[in-house]
A and B are shown apart, each in its own frame.
Chain A
Amino acid sequence: MNLQLTEDGKLHHLLTLDGLPRAILTQILDTAESFMDVGEREVKKVPLLRGKSIFNLFFEPSTRTRTTFEIAAKRLSADVVNLNISTSSQSKGEAILDTVDNLSAMHADMFIVRHSQSGAAHFIARHVAPHISVVNAGDGRHAHPTQGLLDMFTIRRYKGAFHNLTVAIVGDVLHSRVARSQIHALTTLGVPEVRVIGPKTLLPTGIEQMGVKVFHDMEAGLKGCDVVIMLRLQNERMKSARLPSSQEYFKFFGLTPEKLALAKPDAIVMHPGPMNRGVEIDSAVADGPQSVILPQVTYGIAVRMAVMAMLAGGTA
């Protein structure tokens, strides 16, 4: 049984893109398209979630994701409460489910959950009352479904379709929940060639089984790509001796204008943020004409509005 779907196949929680049918992914993207113009109107709100309470439960720090969830909820007219739990009850030793129960007793309708442990959002989704929806805003190395969806939305906006694309994901795939969500979404939406590019130490063994082509040579991997997705290199990885130094990494896997020239001339460059300039990406690329990194952030609002609207409706 899929925890994310109701018996009649509607989205109830959004925890992972793994196993979600193409029809649902497409419906989310189409709905997001309809929300795009709300941000440009006189009144930047629609009354859809009036009276609903949405709790941003962030057990791990985040600026962009939390802010765009908050703006998205506000544009839907929901009431939003932000909790950065690392600094409040968790330090007092309150168990995660006690926190959830207390917030449920305050009549929560939806939880947006970010946690450093893989599976945290699933854990909460299994526990909450049936009328409450849970959105995974990133759990450990596991999944970050709304990021994956906003990346698909960005690709569709710039490339129009998925069936004729070659997409490369470059960098620390091993530790990246974003990469996993992207790969699930790209393959479900019918992208014929998904490549992962990175050093052996940063690519999970057996990743080929997810339907991707593996490259350890960035020049070879970028050839003919329509979309280049750069991943953030976490500085902690350097300390754990997986990499010699950030300069060394930049030399082999940093995206420079010279390396980008190997991809198709109209290739777009994406990054989920926050960027390490001069480590995985050159500023000349990040701020260059092929970069769609800031539009990704804007689209994230419409995509999160679509997800929240689809989850919150039809539950009364």
Chain B
Amino acid sequence: MHASLPDATTLIGRLAEAIAPTLTADTYIVGIHTGGVWVAERLHALLKCTQPLGTLDISFYRDDFSRIGLHPQVKPSNLPFDLEGRSILLVDDVLHSGRTVRAAMNELFDYGRPAAIRLAVLIDRGGHELPIRPDFAGHVVDIPKHQNIILSRLDDGHLTLSLA
């Protein structure tokens, strides 16, 4: 583990504290597969959100599909509520180029027209390629382009961050 990478659980706690004052009864949490769903599940529990949790697999909306093809393990998106006029809190583990978030927003709009979308990420690692910035970030750090931050889930369910 990289010395400067913080503990994932601590970061999720920090994120929940920042989000809590802004949460309304009409806020729906949606996690992006796979890491974003793990973070979203934790936030959903910590914030005692009463609305169902949504999950998105953005494989069908990626802008690099013609180049690299379909991800071999696509998971179904599951949005068990009507998006129309709702406030969405979109959750991902790492914000890098911003392309995943763009794809996720495109997908959300194919389900309906939300009133607002806010973005929460565990880590904003820099290297943005699109005008997309998080509303909530557990941690902001500049990671060199050739390196990746990876969120993993251990067998006991514990989340941990590593550099690769």
Q: Footprint of B on A, CB under 8 Å?
A: 10, 27, 30-31, 33-38, 41-43, 45-48, 309-310, 312-316
Residue numbers in B under 8 Å from A48 (CB-CB): 60-61, 65, 70
Q: Is residue B21 within 8 Å, beta carbon to beta carbon, of the partner chain?
A: no
- Knowing A45-B110, A47-B60 touch, does A27 contact B72 (C-beta < 8 A)? yes
A42 CB contact (under 8 Å) in B66, B67, B77, B112: B112
Within the complex, what minimum Cβ distance (angstroms) separates B156 from chain A? 27
Interface set, chain B 67-107, CB cutoff 8 A to A = 67-70, 72-78, 106-107
Instruction: Determine whether the beta carbon of B70 is less than 8 Å from that of A309.
Output: yes
- Cα A45 to Cα B111 in complex, Å, equals 10
- Knowing A37-B77, A43-B110 touch, does A314 contact B66 (C-beta < 8 A)? yes
26 A–B pairs (Cβ distance < 8 Å), ordered by A: A27-B72, A31-B70, A34-B59, A34-B60, A34-B76, A34-B77, A37-B78, A41-B110, A42-B111, A42-B112, A43-B109, A45-B110, A46-B60, A46-B61, A46-B107, A46-B110, A48-B70, A310-B69, A313-B65, A313-B66, A313-B68, A314-B68, A314-B69, A315-B66, A315-B69, A316-B66
B106 CB contact (under 8 Å) in A31, A37, A41, A47: A47
Residue numbers in A under 8 Å from B106 (CB-CB): 47
Residue numbers in B under 8 Å from A36 (CB-CB): 76
Within the complex, what minimum Cβ distance (angstroms) separates B63 from chain A? 9
Q: Kindly report which residue of chain B lies nearest to residue A77, judged by CB atoms.
A: B60
- Cα A316 to Cα B62 in complex, Å, equals 14
Additional A-B contact list (20), CB under 8 Å, known A10-B69, A34-B57, A47-B106: A30-B74, A33-B76, A34-B60, A34-B75, A34-B76, A38-B60, A41-B111, A43-B111, A46-B61, A48-B61, A310-B69, A312-B66, A313-B65, A313-B66, A313-B69, A314-B68, A314-B69, A314-B70, A315-B66, A316-B66
Q: Footprint of A on B, CB under 8 Å?
A: 57, 59-61, 65-70, 72-78, 106-107, 109-112
- Cα A313 to Cα B107 in complex, Å, equals 18
Residue numbers in B under 8 Å from A38 (CB-CB): 60
Q: Kindly report which residue of chain A lies nearest to residue B112, judged by CB atoms.
A: A42
Residue numbers in A under 8 Å from B109 (CB-CB): 43
- Cα A48 to Cα B109 in complex, Å, equals 15
Residue numbers in B under 8 Å from A27 (CB-CB): 72
Residue numbers in A under 8 Å from B59 (CB-CB): 34
Q: Kindly report which residue of chain B lies nearest to residue A44, judged by CB atoms.
A: B110
Residue numbers in B under 8 Å from A312 (CB-CB): 66
Within the complex, what minimum Cβ distance (angstroms) separates B17 from chain A? 34
- Cα A46 to Cα B61 in complex, Å, equals 7
- Cα A76 to Cα B61 in complex, Å, equals 10
- Cα A31 to Cα B107 in complex, Å, equals 17
Within the complex, what minimum Cβ distance (angstroms) separates B33 from chain A? 10
Residue numbers in B under 8 Å from A315 (CB-CB): 66, 69
Within the complex, what minimum Cβ distance (angstroms) separates A48 from chain B? 5
Instruction: Determine whether the beta carbon of A42 is less than 8 Å from that of B110.
Output: yes
- Cα A253 to Cα B118 in complex, Å, equals 62
Within the complex, what minimum Cβ distance (angstroms) separates A7 from chain B? 14
**10 tightest CB-CB pairs across the interface, nearest first?**
A314-B69, A313-B69, A316-B66, A43-B110, A46-B60, A34-B74, A313-B70, A34-B76, A48-B60, A313-B65
Within the complex, what minimum Cβ distance (angstroms) separates B53 from chain A? 16
Q: Kindly report which residue of chain B lies nearest to residue A76, judged by CB atoms.
A: B60
Residue numbers in A under 8 Å from B70 (CB-CB): 31, 48, 309-310, 313-314
Within the complex, what minimum Cβ distance (angstroms) separates B146 from chain A? 23
- Cα A35 to Cα B74 in complex, Å, equals 9
- Cα A82 to Cα B23 in complex, Å, equals 51
Residue with the highest number of chain A CB atoms closer than 10 Å, among B57, B60, B72, B111: B60
Within the complex, what minimum Cβ distance (angstroms) separates B18 from chain A? 31
Instruction: Determine whether the beta carbon of B74 is less than 8 Å from that of A314.
Output: no
- Cα A46 to Cα B109 in complex, Å, equals 11
